[in-house]
Structure formats: C-alpha cells, structure tokens
Structure 1
Amino acid sequence: IAYTSLTFGWFSLSQGDYVAARARYEKSLAVMIELDDRWFIAACLEGLAITAAQTSTEESFASALWAARLWGVAEALREAISVPLRSFERAINEWGIAKVRSQLGEEAFATAWAEGRTMTPAEVSLLSPDSAAQERAVETVGASRADTPSKLTQPASTVTSLPNSAAGLTGREVEVLRLLAMGLTNAQIAERLVISLLTVKAHVRSIYSKLDIASRSAATRYAIEHKLV
C-alpha cells in the first residue's frame, strides 16, 4: 500500500493536484519510516518538498523553509545509501530547489538545508507548516535533543537575553519574531505566549518598524539570517 501511495503521489504531482500528492506522500512516508526503507523514505521526502515548493508563496515562507529541510534530510539519506536521484527525479527536484532558493535567499536556504541534514525523517515531517505539527515539533524534537538544544527547537518563552544581532528589539519582540519565523499565525503566537491577539499585532507592527520591513517573509528572513531560529 505504501509503495502504491508513493506512485500515486508522483501521479498527483504530475497532474498538479498538490493536496492529494502531499496526502499520499505523507501516508507512504509513515509506513516507510516503520519499514526503514531509506530509498523510498528519501523519495517521499523529496515529493513532499516539491509539493511544499509548489504551494509556497511570499507570505507562506514556512512552506519554503520546510521544503529546504526536507531536501536536506533526503540528500543525507541518499548519500548514506549511495543512491543518487534518477534523471526524471533530478529535473523536477532541481526546479523546486531553484524556486525555494530564490524565495528564501541563498543564506537562509543553505541554513535550512543544513539543518535538514542533521534531522531524522520523523523529525522533519513534524515541521510541516500546519499548526499542530509546529506544536509537536517544538515538544518532540526539543525533547529528543535535550542534551544539545538548538535555537530552532527551544520554546521562545525560554529566551532570557537579547542577541546582539537583534539589537533594538525587546525580549518579547524577539519571542514573537521567533514564533512568527516558525510559521505560527498571530492567533497561535498569542496562545503560545498567553497574551492577547491585539498585543501580538502591536508587537508585529513594532518589529516591522524597527527592522524596516513590511512582510512576514521579510521578518522570517531576518530571523534566519541573524540566527534567531
């Protein structure tokens, strides 16, 4: 069934049905992880990366970040088993990679890709842009790396000092910026930090003003480039 889902994932992708393609890749990936079939795990991750790239926009920056991390994990897997991409796979992956690299910028893209190479397939799958996965990612990935916590997996509420690269932002604004860069909506940030939605919006306006930016994607790019996530 998992192999069939993977095949239909490619079919849905070729037909432009990215919602169906993602569902099929996710279904196949869950089984492949259980089977520890690294070749097909890599193929599922690449398929998910392509669907994320296809649906990413300037305002859905989190999808592009997730895609870069997915490709990073897949690349590490393929290197481990010495199985390169086939020609038809390489063509569509290169198209998606070019789109995501252009959207994120070279530095942010390279950072996300490198982060992916250090993750397991299960970890990166939890970082999908939907809110439930974001919550699980912070808890699950953070717990699995308790000995070497990273900025990506630490809850924003643990921030106690302001990084030099974020001079001008208050500690609370850094918390908001980090969660925003992880793809959380204003409502989700309010719930996470136990503050009102109006307060979150005020913090976002202040962040935009201090950083001289005008969009969530620009804020996310700033957070990545200044190692706030």
Structure 2
Amino acid sequence: MQSSKIAVIAATLLLAVFVGSQLQLFHLKGGASSGAQGELSNQNAGVSTCTADDQVKITVLANILQNYTNAHDAMKTAFRYHNETSDPELWTAMTIVESKGRSKAVSERGAQGKLQVMPFWKKQPGFEFYSRKYSHLNDSLNFRAAHKIFRRLLAQQKGDKWLAVERYCGVGPAAREYVAKVRNLYERIKWATDQAVLSQRQRTEDSAGA
C-alpha cells in the first residue's frame, strides 16, 4: 500500500514538471512550438471562429499532445476537443492517460483507440457510426463514441464529472487510481492553459502600450 502511495506521489510530481515545461516552452517561443504553429496556420477555417484566448488554449493543448504524436495529429486533436467538448483539458488528460495519444492502442482487456473504447459498444443501439471493424482507428469516430459514452455516464452520475470519469474506466481500485491520474493531469493542464491565456493577454497589453 505504501509503495502504491509513493508511486502516485512520484507520478504527480512528474506530471507537474511535464506540464510546467510545456508552459515554459510556450513562453520561450512566444506562443506555439514551430510544429504546432505551422498546423495552427493551416487550420484557417477553424481559427477564424476562435477568439485569441481560444487559439492560445488550443496551442498549449497541441504542444502537450505533441509529446506523444506528430504536430499535425496533435493540432487536429486539440481542435476537435476544443470545438466538440466543453472541457478540452479533460479530454486531453484522458487521452494521455488512456493511450498516450496512440490511435492503434489496444489494452489487455481489448479496449481500443486513443480513448480506449471497448469493442462491445460497436453493437450497441446508437453506435451504428462506430460499428465497422476498424472504426477505432479513426480518431474522429473513436472520440465520438467515447464522448457519447461519457455523456451517458455524466447523466447517470447527475453531472458529477469525476464520478463519470471513474465509471468510464470501470469500478474498484483500478478505476479510483485512473480517476486520480486523470484529475492530477487535468488540473495541471488547466493551470497551464489558464496561465498561458493570462500571459498572452499581458503581452498584448504591453505591446499596445509600447
């Protein structure tokens, strides 16, 4: 039990250092990493609908995801989570904990894709869009299925986000450990995006006053 606690503390410290380094990278480069910035400029249609704050948040999320995948995929994922969810930091954290952002990830229990959706969902009513054998390799469909599942869980848990996250994993000690990992990472990602927005606002004000 003690070794488990030590492992959780160590993981928490590593996450803090990791996300802190992403925020530092954002500051040092004056915004996005070169790869993420290039992809951001390629998403003209999406960018036009985003505020300056939104663009900063998307860029930070993409910088974090880029530690696990290429710049193009990281930016596409960051845009998807921003545009299709109310809590993109949560989905970023879940993606990292679930699969480290790997589309081809398959767990020992058979969960598939970036968000580790179990195959039995392919046969459930309302999941016809996800019914094909290799649907899990399509990140958009995998996310759509995961998001649909999560919304159901959120309704069942009367809007309690963290109970829904726990149920997404299952029940028991493994699920409790899972929600602790997601929550720790989520809080640090949320801090990083909030701080980056504040920093960018200050840079804008300083530039305007110069």
TM-score, with normalisation over the residues of structure 2? 0.28
Give the number of the structure with larger relative contact order, counting CA–CA contacts within 8 Å between residues 6 or more apart. Answer: 2
TM-score, with normalisation over the residues of structure 1? 0.26
